[in-house]
């Protein structure tokens, strides 16, 4: 089985208007910068894909990655836990102008909703947010004397994720804290596209070290020496 895509442009070519896209990373760690920028390149050249819903922990930083998608006008809605980062002007401006929709989800609930989708579990109960405004309208139930909130799975059409090593079968490892949401999103999307810094034949990753098994990955594309989002933000790079 060979899941290798020859370029980031090819990898994102089939993403349509209105797609719901999970994008891996937490802040700048583990963010698939090159895949995001390939999507922006396509939008600039063709006007598509537009009206995207992004699922990420944050809402973009500086002028690159998700922030650049927002500035380009491709994004209709963001589902995230913490949009208010120090360099989140791109999102803030659109949000305060009423030009982008926000669904705010507690971070652990966001992770578990994504995991549940990947695991075929349509809903689950969590103590998180009980008694708060983020639980308004959601069913609650008492278990063993404590109150819990019912939350639904969260699926996506596509996931864009960043691995460190990958093989032709889609097996992945991650780098340091860049793992974060990436393995969960890989499970929860209809089509998962992974960029990796090192791509090899099956067998190049010790099976004991595989973090995401290839069954969860549809396409893998090699991006040697990938950009690191936080480094770009600190340099003030605008894409």
Partner 1 sequence: MSGFNLMEDKLTNAQIAWRAAQDLEDGSYVNLGIGFPEMIAKFQPEGREVTYHTENGVLGFGKAPAPGEEDWDLINAGKKAITLNPGASFFHHADSFSMVRGGHLDLAVLGAYQVAQNGDLANWRVGSKGVPAVGGAMDLVHGAKRVAVVTDHVTKDGGPKLVETCTFPLTGVGCVTRVYTSLAVIDIADGRFVLREKLPGISMAALQAVTGATLHTEGEVGDLVVLEDI
- Which residues of the shown chain bind partner 1 in the complex (CB under 8 A)? 26-30, 57, 81-85, 88, 91-92, 95-96, 102, 104-112, 114-115, 126-134, 147, 174-184, 211, 228-231
Q: Which one, 25 or 49, has the nearer CB to partner 1? A: 25
> Rounded to the nearest whole angstrom, what is the least distance from the CB of residue 198 to partner 1 in the complex?
15
Q: Which one, 17 or 103, has the nearer CB to partner 1? A: 103
Q: Which one, 13 or 231, has the nearer CB to partner 1? A: 231
What lies within 8 Å, CB to CB, of 178 at 6+ separation is 25, 29, 30, 162, 164
Q: Which one, 82 or 168, has the nearer CB to partner 1? A: 82
> Rounded to the nearest whole angstrom, what is the least distance from the CB of residue 231 to partner 1 in the complex?
6
Q: Which one, 147 or 238, has the nearer CB to partner 1? A: 147
Q: Which one, 115 or 155, has the nearer CB to partner 1? A: 115
For residues 63 and 148, what is the distance between their CA atoms, to the nearest angstrom?
39
> Rounded to the nearest whole angstrom, what is the least distance from the CB of residue 179 to partner 1 in the complex?
5
Q: What does each C-alpha distance from 89 to 29, 56, 58, 110 come to in angstroms? A: 19, 16, 12, 23
Q: Which one, 151 or 218, has the nearer CB to partner 1? A: 151
Q: What does each C-alpha distance from 188 to 13, 60, 84, 185, 196 come to in angstroms? A: 20, 21, 25, 5, 19
> Rounded to the nearest whole angstrom, what is the least distance from the CB of residue 176 to partner 1 in the complex?
4
> Rounded to the nearest whole angstrom, what is the least distance from the CB of residue 120 to partner 1 in the complex?
14
For residues 80 and 102, what is the distance between their CA atoms, to the nearest angstrom?
8
For residues 163 and 150, what is the distance between their CA atoms, to the nearest angstrom?
32
For residues 219 and 76, what is the distance between their CA atoms, to the nearest angstrom?
25
> Rounded to the nearest whole angstrom, what is the least distance from the CB of residue 217 to partner 1 in the complex?
15
> Rounded to the nearest whole angstrom, what is the least distance from the CB of residue 104 to partner 1 in the complex?
5
């Amino acid at each position: 089985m060979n899941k290798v895509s020859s370029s980031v442009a090819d990898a994102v070519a089939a993403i349509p208007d209105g797609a719901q896209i999970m994008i891996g990373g937490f802040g700048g760690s583990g963010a698939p910068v090159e895949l995001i920028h390939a999507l922006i390149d396509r939008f600039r050249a063709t006007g598509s894909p537009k009206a995207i819903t992004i699922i990420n922990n944050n809402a973009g930083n500086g002028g690159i990655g998700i922030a650049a998608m927002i500035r380009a006008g491709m994004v209709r809605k963001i589902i995230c836990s913490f949009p208010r980062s120090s360099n989140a002007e791109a999102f803030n401006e659109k949000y305060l102008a009423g030009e982008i929709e926000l669904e705010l989800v507690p971070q652990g609930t966001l992770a578990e909703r994504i995991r549940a989708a990947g695991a075929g579990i349509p809903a689950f109960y969590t103590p998180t947010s009980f008694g708060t405004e983020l639980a308004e309208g959601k069913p609650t139930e008492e278990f063993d004397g404590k109150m819990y909130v019912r939350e639904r799975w969260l699926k996506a059409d596509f996931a864009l994720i960043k691995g460190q090593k990958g093989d032709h079968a889609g097996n992945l490892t991650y780098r340091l804290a860049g793992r974060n949401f990436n393995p969960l999103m890989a499970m929860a999307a209809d089509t998962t596209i992974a960029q990796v810094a090192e791509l090899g034949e099956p067998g190049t990753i010790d099976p004991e070290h595989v973090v995401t098994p290839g069954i969860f990955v549809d396409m893998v594309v090699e991006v040697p020496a990938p950009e690191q989002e936080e480094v770009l933000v600190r340099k003030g790079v605008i894409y």
